[in-house]
Amino acid sequence: MKYEFSIFIIYANRYKIRDHSGLYFVTFTIIGWLDLFVRRAYKDCIIDSLNYCVGGKGLQVHAYVIMTNHLHLIVSAAAGHNLVSTVRDFKKFTSKALLWLINEIPEARREWMLNNFNNEANRTKRGAEYILWKEGYHAR
């Protein structure tokens, strides 16, 4: 049992940001792989948030792609900036902004999406009413 636990620890630490000046491939995934980014407003929210992080938090975006239910980025942090904090803040802000948009924009799938996000919050008991992003970001 101890051996298996050790392997888990090694695996869990494999996807962590250790060098804040390093270049990382990260993935952010919507819970349940829900196709959220099918509307331009939701994609624009992601791009606006990335632009804010570039201008105000020292994020350097080298490449990105927005898929229907996840995004991939190649990122680093400018000198003196903390990439882990920036990623945390990006996910926190975009969760709130996207949930606001879902409630404001006429959306046929609104109730279904919100129910899924609420079910994830209840399942994980992370103290939020809705959970939009899967935990982690698999930094490599």
Question: pLDDT confidence of 22, banded at 50, 70, 90?
Answer: confident
Task: Supply the CATH number for residue 93's domain.
Answer: 3.30.70.1290
HSE-CB at 123 with a 13 A cutoff on CA atoms is 12
Residue 137 domain-assigned? no
Residue 29 domain-assigned? yes
Residue 140 domain-assigned? no
Question: Would you call 21 helix, strand, or coil by DSSP?
Answer: coil
Cα separations in angstroms, 91 against 6, 7, 28, 46, 85: 29, 28, 8, 10, 10
| Neighbour-count burial for 1-23, b at 16+ CB within 10 Å, e otherwise | eeeeeeeeeeeeeeeebeebeee
Q: What is the predicted pLDDT for the residue at 3?
A: 39
Q: What is the predicted pLDDT for the residue at 136?
A: 78
Strand partners, 79: none
More confident residue, 87 or 6: 87
Residue 104 domain-assigned? yes
Q: Count of domains in the chain?
A: 1
Residue 136 domain-assigned? no
**Whether residue 7 has pLDDT greater than 50:** no
Q: What is the predicted pLDDT for the residue at 8?
A: 32
Q: pTM above the 0.95 mark? A: no
Task: Choose the weakest-confidence range: 5-9, 13-17, 49-53, 126-130.
Answer: 5-9
Residue 117 structural domain: 2-124
Residue 41 domain-assigned? yes
Residue 22 domain-assigned? yes
Residue 130 domain-assigned? no
Residues whose CB is less than 8 angstroms from the CB of residue 3 and which lie 6 or more positions away in sequence, other chains included: none
Cβ proximity of 96 and 104 under 8 Å: no
